[in-house]
Amino acid sequence: MLAMNKLRITGVIFLTVAAAAVVSSCSDKKSTGWEYARNMYDPLAFNPDQPNKHFANGQTAQTPPAHTMPVGFDEPETDYPNTPEGYQSAGLNLKNPLPLTKANLEEGKMLYAQMCTQCHGLTGKGDGSIVKLEKFPAPPSYSTGQSSRGGGMNELSDGKIFHTITYGVNMMGPHRYQLTPTERWKIVQFVHELQKLQ
């Protein structure tokens, strides 16, 4: 008799624990749930994505004043503006400051794979993943295509490729906000390799 009672009691206890656990774990996905000491989560110094009442537009992330430059970023607007003349001048005068080393080339390949392949494709033929899905028009092939600004794509010089990555051209957007000049030069090195493909 006692044994049966014990069994019953443990059964009931188990059921209640399970039910309570299920009920209390049903939470709203749209809410963060209970929080203790929320002030320990919110930083004292402002995060860039936080609202900020100290600025007129209410944002913490402010547009930097004109002509300020983050460390490691260039300001090619002064020397090589986004004009046909700036492009031609960059093609003549801008040279890759990085030495052609295996490490730089490897890095360039990795950066190219991350930033460029979705349109230009792994081998630069203009057959990237979103081009294949017909969601975006195909860019010209580095090895066999024609440049919209004259000449074959395989003849593009250091400066011209750098200028194009910096400002974009036609359907390609500017990538100077995502890539530092050093990263861009590494990509230029790798693109030169792709130009040699047949």
Partner 1 sequence: MRNISLFLRSVAKSFLVTVLLTLALSAATKAQDAAAGAAIFKSRCTACHKLDAKSVGPALAGVNDRHKKEWLHKWIKNSQAMIFDEKDPEAIAIYDQFKPITMTPFPDLSDGDIDNILAYIAAPPATGKKGPVVTEAKEEISDLMIGGLVLVIIVAFIVIMLLNRVTGTLERLVMKNNGVEIPEEVTVDRGAKFKKLFKNKKFVFFTGIIIIIILVSIGTVGMWNTGVHTGYQPTQPIKFSHQLHAGINKIDCRYCHSGAYKSKNASIPSLNVCMNCHNYVTAADNYGGQVSPEIAKIYTALDYNPDTREYGPNKKPIEWVRVHNLPDLAYFNHSQHVVVGGVRCQKCHGPVQTMDELYQYSPLTMKWCINCHRETEVNSKGNAYYDRMIAAHEKIKKGEKMTAAVFGGTECGKCHY
CA 74 remoteness from chain centre: 19
Decide: is 36 part of the binding site for partner 1 (CB under 8 A): yes
Q: How far apart are CA 15 and CA 119, in angstroms?
A: 57
In this structure, are residues 191 and 128 in contact, taking their beta carbons and an 8 Å threshold? Answer: no
Q: Which of 74, 89, 172, 193 binds partner 1 (CB under 8 A)?
A: 172
Distance (Å) of CA 72 to CA 183, 184, 187: 10, 12, 16
Q: How far apart are CA 136 and CA 34, in angstroms?
A: 44
Distance in Å, CB of 127 to partner 1, minimum: 10
Q: Which of 2, 29, 54, 68 binds partner 1 (CB under 8 A)?
A: 29
In this structure, are residues 143 and 124 in contact, taking their beta carbons and an 8 Å threshold? Answer: yes
Decide: is 93 part of the binding site for partner 1 (CB under 8 A): no
Number of residues in contact with partner 1, rule: CB under 8 A? 62
Enumerate binding residues for partner 1 (CB under 8 A).
9, 12-13, 16-17, 19-21, 23-25, 27, 29-36, 40-44, 48-49, 59, 61, 83-84, 113-115, 117-118, 129-130, 133-140, 146-150, 168, 170-175, 177-180
